[in-house]
């Protein structure tokens, strides 16, 4: 299928929309507040968002209008990041972001587009009314929502929800008190909006659905986290409401509790004898009021950790994964395809499914041509030879959630789903496939991983840093190594390819100040990254797959499917299979989010004959875990197999530390129950309330990880002895899991309050911040820890940063730098076309301005949105500037770009000249060490 071009839409802060509405209804000056400063409000500030190729966009494509540059006025993104704080003259007003969400969900958004002429003058205003469509999946934690033109809302929402929206609406009108699973509906309705790398058509008749399997370990050590009601006491002054003295006190202020007295003496009646009633009427209660001090008992729900030695830890086999036969696996994909469709998501790993079925039938004297599977939960029986894909029930997100609305039974619900998928030709979007690291055999770690390894031994940590230190020193000492680095990190937006080609054109170009300055900055940035935890190791991110042979055995009805004969059990780790590493190697594995040594897993790589035979093409970016009678899912923070991945390395010290972590730090078991309170009325007010709670909770994902890193650092700095700090990072690991799941589940714990409780424990109230943590927060979020002392602690990450600082050479051999003008080809220097040159430079400055804004706000966007907007910026620039530049004008632009006064646009000008006019650009420089006289003579 031909790729569908994305659409670009306006992205607006809700507080700006609200303040603009206020401004349009008054002639007075309005100011709005940012931080502690006030600014005059002039107009709504908009940015751009993007909707990429997806099943949803393809459905809507004939119903929407695309304008120049694929801009679309049928959608807007509304962001609920800030309160609306404004003032009219001296009167200050404030509407919270929660109230803004409730208001705009209920009433919709009125937004006016402005059409401008070439001079930038407004020639037309186009008002559009928008209705809330869906919470944006890419940046749910920022509270972003997609709104749609009201006339398109009904078609769009029913496509997203498979018609469940209308069914809920009808049932709600018949019974306004009825509650619905809106959390799940909102979470899964966006599956068809995922950006597609491609599409695959798989008839449901060829998809076998099997029930997933719960399996348990033998008894083992575990740290079980659950909720308890903790009893607390707080001092409180209890009023004696029967005391005549209290009546006299309030009488003097014109109030009474006595209705008769109120009528007779013209006093205001306070109907309730409560403190709140008194406070509402302006009374400030103190010890002069009749009463007594008491300790009042109350309870709070808190997480507690219990360590046991006899836990049987659960895995859910094949959760979120499936298998796809080699004959239908797309040729341009690798290892697996992560597929999404209507209330469906599954990571399908490629394998010889049909070959297994044929071999199994032959070994068990069964007729492959006629063999039929047992009836599944929907009453279906499939012939083995017709099966192209195998999934488990966990991939069907409507199952057990909306069955009652889709027919009332699983069989009827499947029929409803089957008919809906047929309407859209059984298409699934492919949103992810396997790809190797662009670092070659290396992959970068993260500081959360580095700082969790259970040691402060400088010798051991020194060996762990060796790969990064050697990499940095090679870059400093060798231009060849640096050119390889440029090749690995090249993309459409940097000048890496340009530098590589110029050095090929003339090796002496590597001696220019331009080249050396870029090299120096790149190396400095890489060293900084290493010191902040992004250390290279031999390894990669590998996508997790569970026991596929066992799944195939269950598919054919083998009752002994758990005895697949591929893996054994280990006391100090888990067996796995990945072609990325050799048979017999030991590895360390980490998953993100990662919070503690309890989340590190120790792996033994084995090469089972059956896996090699039936899954020969899974590639080097997949790892098959033995999830039968092991603790892999709990160990790795509740991973599943719907494209979750682990960072795996065979670095010897990390493998040894992984074994230590696995044996000495008990696996964390999340025993925090769902409370079932995820049912809401089918009203826009309830939708807003739900999304407010989800947006607040999602912020806790990063907060829990950050707090865990502080607890870890204090734990190591204190000699790895504090059980209280250990409990902190164990609980925070569970809080991180819960925070992620809150987008589709509800739990009986307030994650924000629980994180704050842990932060306020005496062991955590330290006035110190580890150096690596402060550096990371400064470089990523520009955060400064005011009132805190940033120190280098005796924790793994700070120790490694010091080792890197000590061992990376401070400077390479000094060489004199050659001026870039020495490489100009003087034979093509001429006047050129000044108008085209100036227009090109003007376009570059405009391009740079927006590109810098994107870089600054990258953390606020999904990766897909960020690169889509960068690509659009580049495409628009290339469309505006003249593609008909002559050699002389290109030379003039090169001279302009290399002038010291134009360093702000240098890289962009050179890069785009290189991309647009490569031959003419290269001809601006002398080749292969030729001198100017030779060049002039050749061109005479």
In the chain, domain spans = 7-160, 205-211+315-435+538-669, 819-940
Strongest mean pLDDT among 16-25, 451-460, 867-876, 881-890? 451-460
DSSP string for residues in 740-804: HHTTT--BSS-HHHHHHHHHTSTTT--SEEEHHHHHHHHHHH----TT-EEE--SSHHHHHHHHH
* Residues in CB range of 832: below 8 A, 6 or more apart: 886, 888, 889, 890, 891, 892, 893
Q: Which residue has the higher pLDDT, 703 or 147?
A: 147
**3-state secondary structure (DSSP) of residue 363:** helix
Over residues 908-919, the mean pLDDT reads: 91
Q: What is the mean pLDDT of the chain?
A: 92
Residue in 745, 644, 687, 861 with CA at minimum distance from that of residue 161: 687
Pure H helices in 394-512: 410-423, 447-450, 458-477, 479-488, 496-505
Cβ contact 359:645 at 8 Å: no
**The pLDDT of residue 939:** 44
User: How many CB atoms are located within 10 Å of the residue 427 CB?
Assistant: 18
pTM above 0.75, yes or no: yes
What is the β-pairing status of strands 291-311 and 336-341? unpaired
Whether pLDDT at 873 is above 90: no
Cβ contact 194:429 at 8 Å: yes
**The pLDDT of residue 722:** 97
Q: What strand order describes the sheet that includes 37-40?
A: 37-40, 30-34, 84-88, 91-95
Over residues 819-841, the mean pLDDT reads: 88
Please write the tens of the pLDDT for every residue from 894-912.
999 888 888 888 889 999 9
Instruction: Choose the weakest-confidence range: 119-123, 227-231, 249-253, 879-883.
Output: 879-883
**The pLDDT of residue 740:** 80
Report residue 875's pLDDT band, with 50, 70 and 90 as the boundaries: confident
Name residue 851's beta-bridge partners: none
Over residues 609-619, the mean pLDDT reads: 98
**The pLDDT of residue 702:** 78
Q: Which residue has the higher pLDDT, 119 or 657?
A: 657
**The pLDDT of residue 140:** 41
Whether pLDDT at 142 is above 60: no
Please write the tens of the pLDDT for every residue from 280-315.
999 988 888 999 988 988 899 999 999 999 999 999
User: How many CB atoms are located within 10 Å of the residue 741 CB?
Assistant: 17
Whether pLDDT at 934 is above 80: no
d(CA 535, CA 444): 5
Percent of the chain's residues with pLDDT above 90: 73
**The pLDDT of residue 141:** 44
Cβ contact 646:636 at 8 Å: yes
**The pLDDT of residue 206:** 98
Over residues 414-436, the mean pLDDT reads: 97
d(CA 503, CA 480): 10
What is the CATH topology of the domain spanning 205-211+315-435+538-669? Barwin-like endoglucanases (2.40.40)
**The pLDDT of residue 208:** 98
Residue in 628, 627, 649 with CA at minimum distance from that of residue 640: 627
**3-state secondary structure (DSSP) of residue 140:** helix
**The pLDDT of residue 940:** 40
Q: CA of 636: how far to CAs of 313, 575, 821, in Å?
A: 13, 15, 56
Structure tokens at 162: 């498979």
**3-state secondary structure (DSSP) of residue 731:** helix
* Residues in CB range of 920: below 8 A, 6 or more apart: 885, 886, 887, 890, 913
* Residues in CB range of 756: below 8 A, 6 or more apart: none
Whether pLDDT at 937 is above 50: no
Whether pLDDT at 930 is above 90: no
Q: CA of 328: how far to CAs of 392, 478, 543, in Å?
A: 19, 47, 21
CA dihedral 781, 787, 792, 796 (to 10 degrees): -60
**The pLDDT of residue 416:** 98
Report residue 639's pLDDT band, with 50, 70 and 90 as the boundaries: very high
Q: Which residue has the higher pLDDT, 701 or 582?
A: 582
Residue in 772, 781, 812 with CA at minimum distance from that of residue 465: 772
């Amino acid at each position: 299928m031909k790729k569908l071009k994305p659409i670009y839409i306006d992205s607006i802060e809700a507080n700006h929309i609200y303040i603009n509405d206020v401004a349009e209804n008054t002639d007075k000056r309005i100011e709005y507040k940012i931080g502690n400063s006030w600014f005059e409000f002039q107009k709504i500030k908009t940015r751009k968002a993007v909707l990429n190729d997806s099943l949803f966009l393809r459905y809507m494509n004939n119903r929407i209008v695309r304008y120049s540059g694929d801009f679309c006025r049928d959608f807007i993104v509304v962001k609920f990041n800030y309160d609306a704080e404004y003032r009219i003259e001296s009167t200050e007003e404030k509407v919270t972001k929660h109230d803004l969400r409730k208001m705009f969900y209920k009433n919709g958004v009125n937004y006016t587009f402005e059409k401008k002429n070439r001079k930038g003058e407004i020639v037309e205003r186009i008002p559009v009314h928008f209705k809330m469509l869906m919470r944006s999946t890419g940046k749910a934690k920022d509270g972003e929502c997609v709104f749609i033109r009201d006339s398109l809302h009904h078609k769009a929402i029913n496509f997203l929800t498979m018609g469940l929206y209308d069914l809920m609406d009808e049932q709600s009108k018949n019974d306004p008190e009825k509650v619905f699973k809106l959390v799940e509906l909102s979470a899964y309705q966006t599956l068809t909006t995922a950006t597609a790398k491609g599409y695959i058509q798989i008839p449901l008749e060829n998809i076998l659905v099997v029930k997933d399997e719960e399996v348990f370990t033998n008894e083992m050590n575990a740290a079980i986290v659950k909720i308890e009601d903790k009893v607390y006491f707080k001092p409180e002054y209890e009023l004696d409401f029967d005391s005549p003295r209290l009546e006299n006190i309030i009488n003097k202020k014109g109030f009474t509790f006595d209705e008769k007295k109120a009528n007779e003496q013209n006093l205001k009646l306070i109907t309730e004898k409560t403190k709140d009633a008194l406070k509402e009427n302006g009374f400030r209660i103190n010890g002069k009021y009749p009463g007594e001090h008491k300790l009042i008992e109350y309870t709070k729900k808190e997480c507690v950790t219990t360590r046991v030695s006899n836990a049987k830890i659960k895995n859910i086999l094949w959760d979120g994964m499936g298998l796809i036969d080699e004959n239908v696996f797309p040729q341009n994909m690798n290892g697996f395809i992560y597929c999404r469709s209507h209330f469906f998501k599954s990571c399908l790993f490629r394998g010889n499914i049909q070959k297994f079925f044929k071999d199994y039938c032959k070994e068990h004297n069964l007729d492959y041509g006629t063999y039929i599977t047992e009836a599944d939960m929907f009453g279906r029986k499939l012939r083995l030879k017709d099966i192209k894909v195998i999934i488990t029930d966990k991939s069907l997100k409507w199952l057990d959630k909306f069955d009652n609305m889709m027919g009332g039974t699983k069989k009827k619900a499947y029929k409803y789903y089957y008919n809906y998928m047929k309407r859209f030709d059984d298409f699934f979007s492919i949103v992810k496939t396997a790809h190797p690291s662009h670092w070659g055999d290396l992959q970068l770690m993260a500081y959360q991983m580095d700082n969790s390894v259970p040691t402060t031994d400088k010798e051991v940590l020194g060996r762990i840093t060796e790969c990064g230190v050697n990499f940095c020193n090679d870059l400093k000492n060798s231009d060849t190594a640096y050119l390889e680095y440029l090749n690995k990190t090249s993309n459409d937006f940097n000048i890496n390819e340009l530098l590589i080609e110029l050095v090929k054109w003339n090796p002496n170009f590597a001696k220019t100040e331009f080249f050396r300055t870029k090299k120096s900055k790149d190396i400095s940035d890489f060293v900084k990254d290493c010191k902040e935890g992004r250390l290279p190791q031999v390894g990669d991110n590998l996508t997790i797959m569970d026991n596929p042979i066992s799944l195939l055995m269950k598919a054919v009805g083998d009752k002994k499917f758990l005895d697949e004969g591929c893996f054994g059990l280990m006391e100090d780790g888990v067996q796995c299979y990945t072609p990325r590493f050799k048979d017999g190697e030991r590895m360390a594995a980490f998953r993100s989010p990662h919070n503690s040594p309890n989340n590190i897993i120790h792996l033994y790589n084995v090469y089972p004959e059956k896996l090699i035979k039936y899954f020969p093409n899974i590639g080097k970016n997949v790892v098959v875990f033995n999830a039968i009678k092991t603790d892999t899912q709990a160990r790795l923070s509740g991973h599943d197999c719907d494209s979750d991945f682990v960072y795996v390395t065979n670095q010897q010290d990390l493998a040894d530390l992984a074994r230590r972590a696995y044996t000495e730090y008990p696996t964390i078991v999340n025993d925090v129950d769902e409370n079932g309170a995820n049912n809401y009325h089918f009203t826009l007010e309830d939708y807003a309330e739900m999304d407010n709670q989800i947006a607040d909770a999602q912020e806790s994902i990063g907060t829990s990880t950050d707090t865990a890193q502080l607890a870890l650092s204090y734990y190591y700095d204190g000699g790895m002895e504090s059980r209280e700090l250990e409990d902190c990072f164990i609980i925070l690991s569970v809080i991180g899991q819960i925070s992620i799941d809150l987008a589709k589940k509800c739990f009986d714990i307030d994650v924000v309050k629980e994180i704050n409780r842990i932060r306020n424990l005496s062991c955590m109230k330290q006035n110190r911040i580890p150096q690596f943590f402060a550096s990371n927060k400064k470089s990523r979020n520009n955060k400064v820890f005011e009132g805190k002392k940033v120190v280098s602690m005796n924790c793994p990450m700070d120790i490694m940063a010091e080792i890197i600082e000590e061992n990376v050479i401070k400077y390479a051999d000094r060489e004199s730098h050659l001026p870039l003008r020495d490489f100009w080809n003087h034979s093509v220097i001429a006047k050129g076309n000044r108008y085209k040159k100036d227009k090109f430079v003007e376009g570059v400055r405009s391009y740079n301005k927006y590109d810098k804004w994107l870089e600054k706000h990258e953390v606020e966007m999904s990766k897909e949105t960020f690169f889509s907007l960068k690509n659009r910026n580049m495409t628009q620039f290339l469309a505006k500037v003249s593609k008909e530049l002559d050699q002389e004008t290109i030379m003039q632009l090169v001279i302009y770009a290399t002038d010291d006064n134009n360093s702000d646009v240098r890289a962009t000008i050179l890069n785009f000249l290189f991309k647009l006019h490569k031959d003419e650009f290269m001809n601006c420089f002398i080749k292969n060490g030729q001198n100017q006289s030779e060049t002039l003579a050749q061109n005479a």
